[in-house]
Amino acid sequence: MPAHGETRRRMLDAAVAVMREKGASGVTIDEVLARSGAPRGSVYHHFPGGRQALIRETLDYAGESYSGMLERAAARGPDAVVTRLVEFWTRVLLDSDYRAGCPVVATAVRPPDGNEVIGRRAAEIFAGWQLAVAGAFTRAGVPGRQSATAATTLLAALDGAVSLCRTTRSLAPLNDVAAVLPRLVTL
């Protein structure tokens, strides 16, 4: 007897996990059902738009959670962003046995075949993150133009580090990058 959106919630959590591992185009109804244990009849009940609707809601669901974390860290400055993100990704990588990455970047980089709209939506979400991090640099005294550059470099290096952690099945790339990042983005 699931309460309000409990099945729905479980499906979204499962879909986020799949999207982390395989991107939006890897989110299949069958796998979400298998991982969530939800009944097949629930799919078109909770997501009348079918697979595309499920993917869209999964993307927003994942994006909002990450945005919240990033903005809270950004309020405490650029160093806090690095610290918090390294902490977060360490946990994600270990919990997934080095299989999970960022669902939003994965979706922006490679949208599902007949659906560029979802790719643009992912790009918008990412742009918000870039803005939040740039704000942290600005408040830390970095001139406006260079704040954007520093934010881009920080996010690029961390995203690449996560990819390399998945590739090497090790946390070393993340730690290597984190150790050097303060010098790369400081004047």
Partner DNA sequence: GTCTATACGAAGATAGAC
Partner DNA sequence: GTCTATCTTCGTATAGAC
d(CA 44, CA 34): 16
Q: How many residues bind DNA (CB under 7 A)?
A: 18
Does 39 contact DNA by CB under 7 A? yes
Which residues, numbered 116-135, are part of the site for DNA (CB under 7 A)?
Answer: none
Does 51 contact DNA by CB under 7 A? yes
**CB of 6 or CB of 87, closer to DNA:** 6
Q: Hey, is 70 helix, strand or coil?
A: helix
Helical H segments across 3-49, by residue range: 6-22, 29-36, 43-46
Of 36-44, 119-127, 142-150, 151-159, the segment contacting DNA by CB under 7 A is 36-44
| Contact (CB, 8 A) for 118 and 112 | yes
d(CA 43, CA 29): 8
Helical H segments across 6-115, by residue range: 6-22, 29-36, 43-46, 50-74, 78-95, 103-109
Of 47-55, 73-81, 88-96, 168-176, the segment contacting DNA by CB under 7 A is 47-55
Query: What does the block give as tokens for 30?
Result: 């069958």
Q: Which positions lie near its own copies, rule CB under 8 A?
A: 21-23, 25-26, 101, 105, 108-110, 122-123, 126-127, 148-150, 152-153, 155-161, 163-164, 166-169, 172-173, 176-177, 179-181, 183-185, 187
Candidates 16, 17, 43, 59: give the one binding DNA (CB under 7 A).
43
Minimum CB separation of residue 2 from DNA in Å reads 5
Minimum CB separation of residue 127 from DNA in Å reads 28
d(CA 181, CA 177): 6
